[in-house]
Structure 1
Amino acid sequence: MDIPRIFNITESAHRIHNPITPGKLAILGAALRLEAGTRVLDLGSGSGEMLCTWARDHGITGTGIDMSRLFTEQAKRRAVELGVADRVTFIHGDAAGHVAEEKVGVAACVGATWIAGGVAGTVELLAQSLRAGGIILIGEPYWRQVPATEEIAKGCLATAISDFLTLPDLLASFGHLGYDVVEMVLADQDGWDRYEAAKWLTMRRWLETNPDDGMAEEVRARLTSEPVRYAAYTREFLGWGVFALMPRY
């Protein structure tokens, strides 16, 4: 079980596998007013930076699940590096359908809502692990400006304009699902730069050391095209944020 190899190659040097920066991740943790001992479930936990830094800074405990064997091993090493390996656990596995054995105070899926078929399905899945008074975290893209054509949407690596909503419509959609939006932290263009541009040096270094690998041609093509594609499309049209939700009553 693993994610497509291209992602393990291009994001192998990333600690955070989305456009949020370490500073914004810290802002989010503070904004949630996390209490020591709060249990956090992170579906699609990547290299574990959220759980590890929040365990260090706020004393939370947590479990992360991710399909990438590489990212899961990186998360375990990060926990040791930050001295929180006794508080956070990382599991290599499929997060789709996972429900915590013990209810959690924060149930998160930050940038991997495909695990349950989109935002609505992921919110429904996370709710099954949430204790009363807990918070769901959803990380999701939105249109900063709606593309004029489907070609522009595909330039942002969407399949269609309908893949994403505008920010007001995304916020409204949470209400339609029966949730209050109680916090949000939005990535900015600098965050997008750090997420996307960091891949380019990783790809270049990988090509230098793996010239005969079967993936070399694909990686070379991406390194050639990605800077221009990103600058022309994703950077201008696509936003991204983490949204904190609580069930309405």
Structure 2
Amino acid sequence: MNFQDLVTISQGPLGIMNPFSQEKALLAGEMARLSEGMTVIDFGCGNGTLLGIWGHSFGVCGTGIEIREEACSNAGELLAKLDLSENIHVFLADASLYDPEDETYNVAVSFGASQIWGGIPDAISSMKSFLKPDGIMIIGERYWKKDSVAAEFSREWPEIMTEYEILQSARENGYDITRVIRSSEDEWDDYESSIWENCLDWMAENPDHPEKDEVYNYFLRIQEEYLAYGREYIGWAAYILVPSLSP
């Protein structure tokens, strides 16, 4: 089973496929000063929940890019339900190859999707080409909560950075971080528990599926990683980046 199928099984039913509540997604929009008529591009938009919240609450319009067909379909249904289909469009595409044909946006968003470009530094570098000169970014990602991490765990996640490293990546690309909105431990627990439950539900509904064992092994691994190390060592936050005012 390919990784995208595992994502669909484990996270597909989630509104926001990250440890971030809809209330904090709304807060992030407020902190980013979203307003009616602003344009947003959301890379790895999943089920379109962020775009739906911001379109409904702030009147933004724009584009979502998502590589999974089922998620694109879910996003389309959500946007139609919110009467946002004319202003927000979701495209089935590999975001790393997406060509906007010289269109630029007020806001570029990546929530849990920096791996599209290989990590946060390259994500910032790539996303800024989609922005107007005064455009901002909202990047939601994991970070190491501690400088010292168990070696057997850190080797599994070489792409995760400390917050100091995230700050330096922003600065090196010409941005300052103006806001940070952190996930709570309760949000992490709810997110991870929902993934476990989705895996178990899928296995119960597909007892004879030839790849059931692979899903079960995935379930065992992610549960062990979270309870043994993840909850202690990894945090998740949304960072709002604005063009630097440095001389």
TM-score (ref. length: structure 2): 0.91
Letter in 1 for 2:36: A
Q: Which residue of 2 aligns with 1:188?
A: 184
CA distance in 1, matches of 2:202, 2:24: 29
Percent sequence identity over aligned pairs: 29
**Equivalent residue letter for 2:53:** T
One-letter amino acid of the counterpart of residue 128, structure 2 = A
In the comparison of the two structures, how many residue pairs are matched? Answer: 243
The 2-side partners of 1:206 and 1:107 are apart by 34
**Alpha-carbon separation, structure 1, partners of 2:3 and 2:236:** 22
Following superposition, the deviation at residue 49 of structure 1 comes to: 0.6
1:206 aligns with 2:206: no
Q: Does 1:118 align with 2:114?
A: no
**CA distance in 1: counterparts of 2:221 and 2:119, whole angstroms:** 28
The 3 A distance-change label for structure 1 pair 172 and 124 is closer
Q: CA deviation at 1:220?
A: 2.1
User: 1:225 offset after TM fit, Å?
Assistant: 4.7
Distance 1:127 1:174 in 2: 11
- Deviation of 1:3 after TM superposition, in Å, equals 5.5
Q: How far apart are the structure 2 equivalents of 1:229 and 1:111?
A: 18
Unaligned runs of at least 5 residues, structure 1: none
More moved, 22-31 vs 130-139: 130-139
Partner of 1:202: helix, strand, or coil?
A: helix
**Residue 141 of structure 1: aligned partner:** 142
Q: Is the 8 A contact 2:149 2:233 kept in 1?
A: no
Cα deviations by residue, 1:107-151 (Å, 9 ceiling, x for unpaired) = 112211122222222112111111121101222211011344321
- Give the distance between the partners of 1:137 and 1:90, measured in 2 at CA: 18
2:92 aligned with 1:92: yes
**Aligned-CA RMSD value:** 1.8
In structure 2, the gaps of 5 or more residues are none
Task: Tell me the distance in 1 between the aligned counterparts of 2:13 and 2:20.
Answer: 15
Moved more, 67-76 or 214-223: 214-223
> Aligned partners of 1:233, 1:120: CA distance in 2, in Å?
25
The answer to whether 1:150 aligns with 2:151 is yes
User: Contact 1:44–1:112 (CA<8 Å) still a contact in 2?
Assistant: yes
What are the equivalent positions in structure 2 for 1:1-249 lying under 5 Å apart? Answer: 4-101=4-101, 102-154=103-155, 157-158=156-157, 160=158, 163-249=159-245
